[in-house]
Amino acid sequence: MSQHTAATDLLITTTEQFVKKELADAEGGHDWWHIYRVWKLARKIAAGEQVDMLVVELSALLHDIADSKFHGGDENIGPRKAREFLESIGAPEATIRHVVDIIVNISFKGGHNNGAFYSPELGVVQDADRLDAIGAIGIARTFNYGGFKNRAIYDPTIQPDLHMTKEQYKNSTAPTINHFYEKLLLLKDRMNTATGRQLAAERHVFMETFLEKFYQEWEGES
């Protein structure tokens, strides 16, 4: 695991300030505080892995710098913006390439993002990002985004679709509860690291408990 130096600390601090400014007005589930949580989780997970910490931290900080969901579905804006910023602060080219590869390949995209690129650093940051999509935080983010998109909370007549194409997943208007089955409950078995799997198992159980109580209250049973 690479160690921080004064130069790498400056790169990380400058990136942190840039991301805070860029995401100041972002939707609540994809704002600076999402980045903050993913960054902290990535550092926790990385402690048990042999990884380049500079790549991990820069990738965690920049992974949602321009989420395609909020930019007309353009998946090139985020990687391009990250590259331009990292070049502007003098990050090494090899580091920039690695960070951009991670940003391109980190997303779930309906379970269809199985790119050719993988690295231990991607595994760490992807686990951290997925962990922030589940558990108590994941529940809060899911309903926040559903409200942002004016989606129904739940409709028993609309069943989850586990076989959506990437485009269908991206354009889905299904009730928010369906998202648990179409993504969140699937993430536990898609973790890359031992720490990620352990944390995901705990968060998964919390979501199952929440859903059980949700259905009981929906039917007025409790």
Supply the range of the domain harboring residue 66. 6-218
CA-to-CA distance for 66 and 69, rounded, in angstroms?
A: 9
Residue 54 contacts residue 121 (beta carbons within 8 Å): no
Q: Answer yes or no: is pLDDT of 110 > 50.
A: no
Return the ∠ at Cα 128 (arms to 17 and 25), rounded to 5°.
40
Place of tokens 């352990």: 198
Place of tokens 């991206």: 170
Positive or negative, the CA dihedral 68, 120, 86, 132 is positive
Average the pLDDT over 45-61 and give the result: 97
Q: Answer yes or no: is pLDDT of 66 > 90.
A: no
The answer to whether residue 93 is domain-embedded is yes
Task: Calculate the alpha carbon distances from 12 to 53, 91, 113 in Å.
Answer: 10, 10, 27
Residue 53 contacts residue 39 (beta carbons within 8 Å): no
Q: Cβ–Cβ contacts within 10 Å for residue 83, how many?
A: 18
Structure letter (DSSP) for residue 188: G
Residue 103: per-residue pLDDT: 94
Residue 43: per-residue pLDDT: 98
Residue-wise pLDDT tens digits, 11-34? 999 999 999 999 998 888 889 999
The answer to whether residue 62 is domain-embedded is yes
The answer to whether residue 30 is domain-embedded is yes
CA atoms within 13 A on the CB side of 114: 3
Residue-wise pLDDT tens digits, 113-147? 566 799 999 999 999 999 999 999 999 999 999 99
Return the ∠ at Cα 117 (arms to 115 and 118), rounded to 5°.
110
Residue 2: per-residue pLDDT: 55
- Counting residues of the chain whose pLDDT is more than 70, the rounded percentage is 91
Return the ∠ at Cα 101 (arms to 99 and 106), rounded to 5°.
95
The answer to whether residue 170 is domain-embedded is yes
Average the pLDDT over 196-216 and give the result: 98
The answer to whether residue 140 is domain-embedded is yes
Give the list of residues 6+ apart from residue 155 with CB closer than 8 angstroms, or none. Answer: 175
Q: The domain that contains 104 carries what CATH number? A: 1.10.3210.50
Band (pLDDT 50/70/90 cuts) for residue 75 is confident
Residue 187: per-residue pLDDT: 96
The answer to whether residue 1 is domain-embedded is no
Domain count of the fold of the chain? 1
The answer to whether residue 78 is domain-embedded is yes
The answer to whether residue 125 is domain-embedded is yes
Average the pLDDT over 147-158 and give the result: 95
Average the pLDDT over 166-184 and give the result: 91
Mean pLDDT of the chain: 91
CA-to-CA distance for 135 and 138, rounded, in angstroms?
A: 5
Cα 217 to its chain centre, rounded Å, is 30
Residue 31: per-residue pLDDT: 93
pTM: predicted TM-score of the whole model, two decimal places: 0.90
